[in-house]
Chain A
Amino acid sequence: MKDCKQIIGEMDTIKETFPALGRQTTSGADLVYLDSAATSQKPECVLQAMDDYYRRSNANIHRGIHTLAEEATAAYEGARQRIATFIGAASYKEVIFTRNATESINLVAYAWGRKNLKAGDVVLLTEMEHHANLVPWQMLAEERGIRLAFISVTEEGLLELDQYEEMLQLEPKLVSFIHMSNVLGTINPAKEMIRKAKAAGAVTLLDGAQSVPHFAVDVQDLDVDFFAFSGHKMCGPTGVGVLYGREALLQAMPPFLGGGDMIRKVHLRSFTPNELPYKFEAGTSAIAEAIGLGAAVDFLEKIGMSHVTAHERELTRYAMQVMGDIPWIHILGPGAEQRGGVISFTLDGVHPHDIAQLLDWDGIAVRAGHHCAMPLHEKFNISATTRASFYIYNDLSDVDALVASLRRVKEKLG
């Protein structure tokens, strides 16, 4: 087993630092993991960082005055600072630990939305949203009578940007959209869209669950107000995510959950909220997980996000080319130049569940279903797709294995 330091600069042996990638599946086949858009595998250094915390420094953070508490606090806050730097935040105060991207978006809907949105206000979303960026706004629509509008998706899987400009005349209070589609792979022109939204007076939110793991993100360069992502899709553990928010907006928001750590003072009938970012972190946080996410960020930075992106681009191009040559495979979404490493497809005559099951016998892990984007599947008039998604530890042979296995599936069931 190689450790994370050895591995940097050796992309061809990077698999060795991910313990789970060395295993076999139930059928005895070597694992080919093509489900990173659902969750990535975890490198040794992330597992080590969490293990070290539990074995050496396990203590609650922020208030303890003993060696372990100080070590734990330093590790937790150190992780926050490194994550802030990683996404280009102006300050650690703008990085709030949540459970995942879903909770981050819910936090905005609850704390910002309930304070700033009233009946009739427009929230502009898109047809390609993950349920995480639909349902919180639907709940607010039901509760507050806000109106939801949706930018259409073209047949090619891109947003209708002309229509977007027209919709901005509705003067939306919030424009919230997915940075990279978890189904189509489409990378939306976020910077340009945010610039236009701001010119129209809207607050902006980006769902970065699929973008941060795969390409360099700079929230100040994007000029986005809120940015949500999960740790577990970027080599980190489950149970920790981040909400980035512009400091002035966060300052003006009421707290989200109430309890310990989010308060400065509590009396029997009143409280004063804590300062940022703690105001939004009630109760004991996922300390080990936050530390693990810090280690994941270190790992990605050592590889270099430009290398991550270039590697996945090569894989995606290759996969689009070989799969695109097969007449019974139909790929959703745009060409390789406009997408990240996600390929959702249908196969003539075979249901996605059967495809995923048969691929598993060959050791290949893919996703089958609607990928938490039912409205998008309805739009394309399909009930489900099969999705292969790539990360740094995949290589061209994984794509070859997928295609060879798909040919066997077609022969058996097609």
Chain B
Amino acid sequence: MDDLYRELIIERNRSPHYRGELDPNDYTFQDENPLCGDNIRIDVRTDDAGIITEAAFSGHGCAISQASSDLLIEFVIGKSVEDVKRLTKEDVLNLLGIQLGPVRLKCALLPLKVIKAGVYGLTEATDDLVEGA
């Protein structure tokens, strides 16, 4: 349990590499977790081939949601929009390197939900974007 806050997560929460906003952008989406008030926005820029060249997150939330956002963005840069659509809950947990209970899982998966809703061009993010995967 103690390694929930392993060094990588503490470090990325304290000094994220990809915090900010991109304007203009090709995809942007914002959502919140009403249970805890975590609020994440992710902006994405792509090239003509649909490869992600830049991305950034803004908003506020717990250490898990912040670190998850930062690590997810690092992971998707250089990948295609289609790759992002195929990302799963397990991919995010692998990036974080931790196992989470149901409540904190929502914190960790919020950025995945946001980026997928963005690249799919949805108006509303739903849990099935990150579940059952």
Complex contact B10–A369 (CB within 8 A): no
Instruction: Annotate B32-61 by CB proximity to A: 1 below 8 A, 0 otherwise.
Output: 000111110000000000000000000011
Complex contact A413–B10 (CB within 8 A): yes
CB within 8 A of A26: which of B1, B38, B62?
B1
Query: Closest CB of chain B to A31's CB: distance in Å?
Result: 15
CB-defined contacts of A353 to chain B, threshold 8 Å: 36, 38, 62, 64, 104, 107
Instruction: Annotate A348-368 by CB proximity to B: 1 below 8 A, 0 otherwise.
Output: 001111100110010000001
Q: Which of A27, A368, A383, A412 has the most CB of B within 10 A?
A: A383
Tell me if A370 counts as interface (CB < 8 A to partner B).
yes
Complex contact B64–A27 (CB within 8 A): no
Complex contact B37–A383 (CB within 8 A): yes
Beta-carbon contacts under 8 Å, B1-35 to A: 1-2, 4-5, 10, 13-14, 35
Tell me if B63 counts as interface (CB < 8 A to partner A).
yes
Known A-B contacts A354-B63, A413-B63; the reply to A368 vs B36 at CB < 8 A is: yes
Complex contact A358–B5 (CB within 8 A): yes
CB within 8 A of A361: which of B1, B37, B107?
B1
Known A-B contacts A354-B64, A357-B4, A413-B63; the reply to A377 vs B37 at CB < 8 A is: yes
- What is the total number of residues of chain B having a CB less than 8 Å from a CB of chain A? 19
- What is the total number of residues of chain A having a CB less than 8 Å from a CB of chain B? 18
CB-defined contacts of B35 to chain A, threshold 8 Å: 369
Q: How far is the CA of A368 from the CA of B62 in the complex (A)?
A: 11
CB-defined contacts of B63 to chain A, threshold 8 Å: 350-351, 354, 413
Tell me if A384 counts as interface (CB < 8 A to partner B).
yes
CB-defined contacts of A384 to chain B, threshold 8 Å: 36-37
Complex contact B5–A383 (CB within 8 A): no
Complex contact A369–B36 (CB within 8 A): yes
Query: Closest CB of chain A to B94's CB: distance in Å?
Result: 20
Query: Closest CB of chain A to B107's CB: distance in Å?
Result: 6
Instruction: Annotate B45-85 by CB proximity to A: 1 below 8 A, 0 otherwise.
Output: 00000000000000011111000000000000000000000
Chain B residue with Cβ nearest A27: B1
Complex contact B5–A412 (CB within 8 A): yes
Q: How far is the CA of A351 from the CA of B59 in the complex (A)?
A: 13
CB within 8 A of A357: which of B10, B13, B14, B104?
B104
Complex contact B37–A369 (CB within 8 A): yes
Q: How far is the CA of A353 from the CA of B66 in the complex (A)?
A: 12
CB-defined contacts of B5 to chain A, threshold 8 Å: 354, 357-358, 412-413
Query: Closest CB of chain A to B108's CB: distance in Å?
Result: 11
CB-defined contacts of A357 to chain B, threshold 8 Å: 4-5, 104
CB-defined contacts of B61 to chain A, threshold 8 Å: 351
A-B pairs with beta carbons under 8 Å apart, 8 shown: A26-B1, A351-B60, A353-B36, A353-B62, A354-B63, A369-B36, A377-B37, A412-B5
Chain A residues with a Cβ under 8 A of chain B: 26-27, 350-354, 357-358, 361, 368-370, 377, 383-384, 412-413
Given contacts A26-B1, A351-B61, A413-B14, 20 further A-B contacts (CB under 8 A): A27-B1, A350-B63, A352-B36, A353-B62, A353-B64, A353-B107, A354-B64, A357-B4, A357-B104, A358-B5, A361-B1, A369-B35, A369-B36, A369-B37, A383-B37, A383-B38, A383-B39, A384-B36, A412-B10, A413-B5
